[in-house]
Amino acid sequence: MRIAVGSDHGGYQLKLLVADHLAAAGHVVDDLGTDAADVPVDYPDYGAAVGRAVTSGSAEVGVCVCGTGIGIAIAANKIPGVRAAVVHDVTTARLARQHNHANVVCLGGRLLGSQVALDAVDAFLAATFDGGRHQRRIDEITALEQATAGLSAAAASSHPTKERR
């Protein structure tokens, strides 16, 4: 499986561990950065990069890591088609895939122990979407995303930007 990984400085060490683990398991890992723990960077850049890799088809799934997993998940979820889930253990990772059809898993580099994180990633990858009653909810999320995209495009084209003072 081809997997895109990305992190900010707060998730860098855990991202390296996860990437090595995935490669050792035979996956193709595309590391989209960052490249150091000691240089502060902005997590939205890396969440968006992983999200774009997944939605473009250049990766099947993504793994994002920041200090808590929250910020990078928010950023990844701004990419249409991304369903990024912050997970804390094997159960949340498995359910993110089974019930929410998540395609990006997000981890907190400052919150999770190494083994818990690796086990969660393995559970995420091993799980499959259950479909059934869950499909209706995924369809609702997709409809919300499409409606919001339409509203945003219409608003951008029909309303000039107003400067506030």
What are the pLDDT digits (tens) for 11-61?
999 999 999 999 999 999 999 999 999 999 999 999 999 999 999 999 999
Instruction: Match 């990024």 to its residue by tokens.
Output: 84
Q: Which domains does the chain have, with CATH numbers?
A: 2-130 (3.40.1400.10)
CA–CA distance, 79 with 9 (Å, rounded to integer): 21
| Confidence at residue 162, expressed as pLDDT on a 0 to 100 scale | 46
Which is the catalytic residue, given 9, 66, 101, 106? 66
Least trusted range by pLDDT, from 2-11, 48-57, 112-121, 148-157: 148-157
According to the 3-state scheme, what is the secondary structure of 36-76? CCCCCCCHHHHHHHHHHHHHHCCCCEEEEEECCCHHHHHHH
Identify the sign of the CA torsion 41, 81, 112, 20. negative
Which is the catalytic residue, given 99, 106, 134, 159? 99
Q: Is 66 a catalytic residue?
A: yes
